[in-house]
Structure 1
Amino acid sequence: MARKRASLHYHVYVVELGDAVWNNARFRRCNPDYRLGMPFVYVGMTGLDPDVRFDKHKAGIQANNFVRDHGVRLLPALYAVYNPMPYQAAVEMEVELGIALREKGYGVWQA
């Protein structure tokens, strides 16, 4: 039983990105269906607490450049319900959550 609980320590997370990220051509190319006025976000997964992972991004430690340069805050309302989970579930949920947010018109970046 303890082993099963230990494996449930992976998380998906969503970071709000500042509007200036839209000035990046690569970001725009990956979001052709972006709807004006919707948020820009980064969707990731981690074995750390999402708050710790966000702080590492902002400090430049194993950071995604968009989060390091444009990350504003975590958006737990978009991900907290899914956490924690096993590794494979987090890998799959990261992709599914990114797709779902894109379908709603968000500008999404995933590493």
Structure 2
Amino acid sequence: MPKTQYQVYVIELSKRVFTESAKFRKANPQFNGVLQCLYVGMSSKPPKTRFEQHKTGYRNQKGHNLASPLVQNYGMYLRPSLYNHIAPVATRSAALRLEESLALSLRRQGYAVWYN
């Protein structure tokens, strides 16, 4: 059986998220409105599948909501040019570190970013 691989992905959010979500605004005080609002996540699923799960409000077998309300309400499309250069990793913990690293890097570039 092939080993699970995790990858990071980036979803562009509508800029409405900045005006409508206080928690998003608070996380991005540096945002000047020039670049886009983004969600950075990681998953063992392909990015397209994970995006669809966010948009449809996917719940796992235990009934836990695995969809981000920010993506469900404001997600527009995947931004592969911002993550395709990052190779999948073998562990969830490595993927979480990559997710945070990518999110903070994008934030430093001027994007408004949400990540878990």
- Corresponding position of 1:55: 52
Ranges of 4+ aligned residues in structure 1 off by more than 4 Å: none
**Gaps spanning 5+ residues in structure 2: where?**
59-65
- Matched with 1:21 is 17
Can you give the 5+ residue segments of structure 1 that lack an aligned partner in the other structure? none
Of 10, 27, 30, the match for 1:30: 27
Could you state the TM-score of these two structures normalised by the residue count of structure 1?
A: 0.90
Alignment equivalent of 2:71, drawn from 50, 67, 73: 67
- How many Å separate the matches in 2 of 1:53 and 1:83? 17
1:40 to 20, 37, 40: 37
Deviates more, 1:93-102 or 1:27-36: 27-36
Determine the C-alpha separation between the residues in 2 that align with 1:36 and 1:22.
Answer: 9
Please report the RMSD computed on the Cα atoms of aligned residues, expressed in angstroms: 1.3
Distance across 2 between alignment mates of 1:89 and 1:98: 14
Hey, which of these two has a bigger chunk of helix by percent? 1
Instruction: Report Cα offsets for 1:9-63 as digits up to 9, x if no partner.
Output: 1110000000110111111011011132111000000010110000000001111
Q: 2-side partners of 1:86 and 1:55: how far apart?
A: 23
Q: Percent identity?
A: 37
Q: What one-letter code is carried by the residue in structure 2 that aligns with 1:25? A: A
- Offset of residue 86 of structure 1: 1.4
- Name the CA distance, whole Å, in 2 between partners of 1:26 and 1:91: 21
Q: What is the count of residue pairs matched by the alignment?
A: 107
Please give the TM-score of this superposition, normalised by the length of structure 2: 0.86
The residue type paired with residue 86 of structure 2 is Y
Q: Structure 1 CA distance, aligned partners of 2:39 and 2:50?
A: 12
